A and B are shown apart, each in its own frame.
Chain A
Amino acid sequence: MNYTFIALVENKPGVLNRVASLFRRRNFNIESLAVGRTEKPEISRMTVVVDCPNGDMDAHKIEANLYKLVNVIDVQDVTRQPSVARDLALIKVKAGPEKRAEVNSLAAIFRARIVDVAADSVIVEATGTEEKIEGMIELLRPIGIVEMVRTGQVSMTRGVNDGVRRVSGVNGNRQFEDLEELAEMAP
């Protein structure tokens, strides 16, 4: 199952490398990773989607290991939190004048936009959950996808949750007692 983590990290050179190296070294498989600035210039924010074959146990390991990195300020597992998740895709579709209308109407259904038109292709910009974008790709595929780029998922919890860990050393949303419950899930 895929788990989603939000990590607040110091905006310093090499921090992305530290995070990526950690995942490689501990044998975790990253599905997607998106990094960007936040409202505070000294802090960057990562959304990491990771395949966790052993469920919560893997998620605990990922959080605890991320937290060990000195430059990581906070880690949250938002997999089961009410949150908004978005992925952005640019999809270049092979479409001459005769196919433009078809692409356009598909885009409209998915609330996507045509952002560039050339003689024999158009670029569609789509934003939404990963499932929605997957669905759109499947419908565009028969028409002919020339090129595609996706940002990877970015996530934010809903409500007033500011995304800051409450118990250092253990993740923010999962309470410490949950660590004890985790023991029962061990292989």
Chain B
Amino acid sequence: MKKAGAEILWECLVREGVEVVFGYPGGANMPIYDAMLSYPIHHVLVRHEQGAAHMADGYARTSGKVGVAMATSGPGATNLVTGIATAMMDSSPVVFITGQVAAHLIGGDAFQEVDVTGITLPITKHNYIVTRADEVAEVVREAFYIARSGRPGPVLIDICKNAQVEQCEFVYPDDVKLPGYQPRMSAPQADLNQAVKLIEKARRPIILCGHGVLMSGAEEALQHFAVKTQTPVASTLLGLGAFPASHELSLGMMGMHGEVHTNLAIQNSDLILAFGMRFDDRVTGTLKTYAPHAKKIHVEIDPSELHKNVAADVPLVGNLKTVLTDLIPMVDEYDHEEWKRQIGEWKSEADARSIMNWPDDGELHVAHMVHEIWKSTGGGAIISTDVGQHQMWTAQYYPLEKPNRWITSGGAGTMGFGLPSAIGAWFAHKDQEIWAIAGDGGFQMTQAELTTAVQEGANVKVAIMNNNFLGMVRQWQEFFFEKRYSAVNMLTPDFIKVAEAHGVPARRVTKREEIEDAIQWARNTKGPVVLEFRVVQEDAVYPMVPAGASLDQMLQRPIKS
């Protein structure tokens, strides 16, 4: 049957199981929006295309499905760019669909024409420009396949207006033909044997659990492996939730703001088992002194990550779940009592410095606010964050027991990510409690999406940690620039009035005795709610490994008593 390119697009989206798309219409994608009315896919009208990108990203990260965001050509598409880069850096499967001017106008600087495939080439896993209607079906099929398979990532499809309008025979392709794209799923036996040899010799092993554990659904396999070999598990920022925080082998987050005992364990280990992580500079500190006594087994689905930052003694290319499942029956049981006891000692020293032990100074500390939210929600909420101090405190003080409920921009560090990604997550988990924790700076970047939340009835609770500062930059200026504050002191609007103007109930919390009640009120209020916490202005996130320092050269939390 003949169909227009725009209809074929929706036919394909329906077949891919798409339930919701986030987007914004404009001149170059009007045929797509017209055709949309005939299909059972819910469209979320955002207030800025960046919001659409983050929503699709948040949806993808919590649902395990591919997110979809749409925009028109030119400025519509360029507004997506930050969101595309965010998805790219964190390997999030999102398909972006942009309108483009008619094929015969390309290159002529037509109205709202921008070279979108050129701009997004370095920040997508792959991208397409579609100039004819008969290309649509094949391209959409490929795009979804590429986005979700191998190392997932964003794929952009730029569809010329003529290709949306022109009619052609609609045939849904049975399969994809990509001769150059064959992700390797399992590691060869010989390499697994090498890994087992290193595991046998290890006395002080440690697992570094990355985002790949979640992406490949290897949480159970990881737990099985860790328990069988009694290997402690440290997590990257994006790997949080993959291993239960309360497990006796859990060491929590590693890296620049990781716990002291966790980083000490890495530095003193004799074997690193890096599972689906990429040795980001925020995780390693300086590479010159990184884990100097450790052999490294690196399991990664993307061969270009091997040896990129840290050389691996045994590199295993493959899907983490498959590799771990193959590896588990090959390894022996160990107890590693001495090693665990040593880490336990470090941990009790570190715990003594926990912010939770600070005496009540009457002030609101972000860590305490996060802890209160954790207590009220029983640790079970889906949590999204913006980027900065509050993000690190949330990573430290909202311990996660379950996977895929932690949405944060790790690689790209995108401010403004928190609110829209939480709204996106709501579409995947309407029955669950969702909290977006943001700073005053980041919240202002995408606060317009509050209206989107109202329009959609998205049940998202927003906690703004307002210190009237760009906190993390301020902290760096305090530590490394002799407290010469430059452009970090920020006038914030009255967030209560802002929220109410958007039709969102809001409360301000300035005293400790108001906290619990405010959080309960937010939880009991239907729909989106904003809580503003007036927190300590000049708090610093500890522990901290200064940029360029060795992982064990941490600035520790001050002891207050």
Contact surface of A with B, Cβ cutoff 8 Å: 9-10, 14, 17-18, 21, 25, 57, 60-61, 64-65, 67-74, 167-170, 176-177, 179-180, 182-184, 186
With A70-B178, A70-B180, A74-B180 as contacts: A64 and B315 at CB distance below 8 Å: no
A-B contact pairs, 25 of them (CB 8 A): A9-B180, A10-B180, A17-B118, A17-B121, A57-B307, A60-B307, A61-B304, A64-B302, A67-B303, A67-B304, A68-B304, A69-B126, A70-B146, A73-B180, A168-B182, A169-B182, A169-B317, A176-B191, A176-B317, A179-B306, A179-B312, A180-B312, A183-B296, A183-B311, A186-B307
User: How close is B319's CB to chain A, nearest CB, in angstroms?
Assistant: 11
Asked if B314 contacts A180 (CB within 8 A), the reply is: yes
In the A-B complex, the 9 residue pairs with the smallest Cβ-Cβ separation, listed nearest first, are: A186-B311, A64-B304, A169-B184, A183-B311, A73-B180, A64-B303, A70-B126, A169-B303, A70-B181
B107 at the interface (CB under 8 A from A): no
* Residues of B contacting A180 in the complex (Cβ-Cβ under 8 angstroms): 194, 312-315
B558 at the interface (CB under 8 A from A): no
Q: Chain B 125-139, CB within 8 Å of chain A: the 1/0 string?
A: 110010000000000
* Residues of B contacting A21 in the complex (Cβ-Cβ under 8 angstroms): 121-122
Asked if B180 contacts A69 (CB within 8 A), the reply is: yes
Q: How long is the Cα–Cα vector from A170 to B190 in the complex, in angstroms?
A: 15
- B residues 163-200 in Cβ contact with A at 8 Å: 178-184, 188, 190-191, 194
* Residues of B contacting A60 in the complex (Cβ-Cβ under 8 angstroms): 306-307
B117 at the interface (CB under 8 A from A): yes
B308 at the interface (CB under 8 A from A): yes
Contact surface of B with A, Cβ cutoff 8 Å: 117-118, 121-122, 125-126, 129, 146, 178-184, 188, 190-191, 194, 296, 302-304, 306-308, 311-315, 317
Contact pick for A170, options B311, B312, B317, CB 8 Å? B317
Main secondary structure of the interface of A (DSSP, over half): helix
User: How close is B131's CB to chain A, nearest CB, in angstroms?
Assistant: 9
Q: How long is the Cα–Cα vector from A155 to B118 in the complex, in angstroms?
A: 30
With A70-B126, A183-B313 as contacts: A64 and B188 at CB distance below 8 Å: no
User: How close is B148's CB to chain A, nearest CB, in angstroms?
Assistant: 14
User: How close is A59's CB to chain B, nearest CB, in angstroms?
Assistant: 11
* Residues of B contacting A74 in the complex (Cβ-Cβ under 8 angstroms): 180
Asked if B313 contacts A170 (CB within 8 A), the reply is: no
* Residues of B contacting A25 in the complex (Cβ-Cβ under 8 angstroms): 122
* Residues of A contacting B302 in the complex (Cβ-Cβ under 8 angstroms): 64, 68
Query: Please, which residue of chain A has its CB at the minimum distance from the CB of B318?
Result: A169
* Residues of A contacting B182 in the complex (Cβ-Cβ under 8 angstroms): 168-169
* Residues of A contacting B311 in the complex (Cβ-Cβ under 8 angstroms): 182-184, 186
* Residues of A contacting B191 in the complex (Cβ-Cβ under 8 angstroms): 176
Q: How long is the Cα–Cα vector from A46 to B121 in the complex, in angstroms?
A: 20
* Residues of A contacting B308 in the complex (Cβ-Cβ under 8 angstroms): 61
Asked if B313 contacts A14 (CB within 8 A), the reply is: no
User: How close is A46's CB to chain B, nearest CB, in angstroms?
Assistant: 13
Query: Please, which residue of chain B has its CB at the minimum distance from the CB of A18?
Result: B121
Contact pick for A14, options B117, B188, B315, CB 8 Å? B117
Query: Please, which residue of chain B has its CB at the minimum distance from the CB of A57?
Result: B307
Apart from A21-B121, A25-B122, A170-B317, list 18 A-B contacts with CB within 8 A. A14-B117, A14-B129, A67-B180, A67-B303, A68-B304, A69-B126, A70-B178, A70-B181, A168-B182, A169-B182, A169-B183, A169-B184, A176-B317, A180-B312, A180-B314, A182-B311, A183-B296, A183-B311
User: How close is A72's CB to chain B, nearest CB, in angstroms?
Assistant: 5
Query: Please, which residue of chain A has its CB at the minimum distance from the CB of B190?
Result: A177
Query: Please, which residue of chain B has its CB at the minimum distance from the CB of A170?
Result: B303
Q: How long is the Cα–Cα vector from A21 to B129 in the complex, in angstroms?
A: 17
* Residues of A contacting B312 in the complex (Cβ-Cβ under 8 angstroms): 179-180, 183
Query: Please, which residue of chain A has its CB at the minimum distance from the CB of B153?
Result: A68
User: How close is A134's CB to chain B, nearest CB, in angstroms?
Assistant: 33
Q: How long is the Cα–Cα vector from A71 to B125 in the complex, in angstroms?
A: 11
Asked if B307 contacts A182 (CB within 8 A), the reply is: yes
User: How close is A181's CB to chain B, nearest CB, in angstroms?
Assistant: 10
Q: How long is the Cα–Cα vector from A169 to B184 in the complex, in angstroms?
A: 6
* Residues of B contacting A17 in the complex (Cβ-Cβ under 8 angstroms): 118, 121
Q: How long is the Cα–Cα vector from A61 to B305 in the complex, in angstroms?
A: 8
Q: How long is the Cα–Cα vector from A176 to B303 in the complex, in angstroms?
A: 11
Q: How long is the Cα–Cα vector from A186 to B315 in the complex, in angstroms?
A: 14
* Residues of B contacting A183 in the complex (Cβ-Cβ under 8 angstroms): 296, 307, 311-313, 315
Query: Please, which residue of chain B has its CB at the minimum distance from the CB of A13?
Result: B129
* Residues of B contacting A176 in the complex (Cβ-Cβ under 8 angstroms): 188, 191, 317
* Residues of A contacting B194 in the complex (Cβ-Cβ under 8 angstroms): 180
Query: Please, which residue of chain B has its CB at the minimum distance from the CB of A25?
Result: B122
Asked if B179 contacts A10 (CB within 8 A), the reply is: yes
Q: How long is the Cα–Cα vector from A19 to B118 in the complex, in angstroms?
A: 13
Q: How long is the Cα–Cα vector from A10 to B312 in the complex, in angstroms?
A: 32
User: How close is A56's CB to chain B, nearest CB, in angstroms?
Assistant: 10
Asked if B306 contacts A64 (CB within 8 A), the reply is: yes
User: How close is A28's CB to chain B, nearest CB, in angstroms?
Assistant: 12
* Residues of A contacting B315 in the complex (Cβ-Cβ under 8 angstroms): 179-180, 183
* Residues of B contacting A184 in the complex (Cβ-Cβ under 8 angstroms): 311
Q: How long is the Cα–Cα vector from A67 to B302 in the complex, in angstroms?
A: 10
User: How close is A177's CB to chain B, nearest CB, in angstroms?
Assistant: 7
Q: How long is the Cα–Cα vector from A25 to B199 in the complex, in angstroms?
A: 37
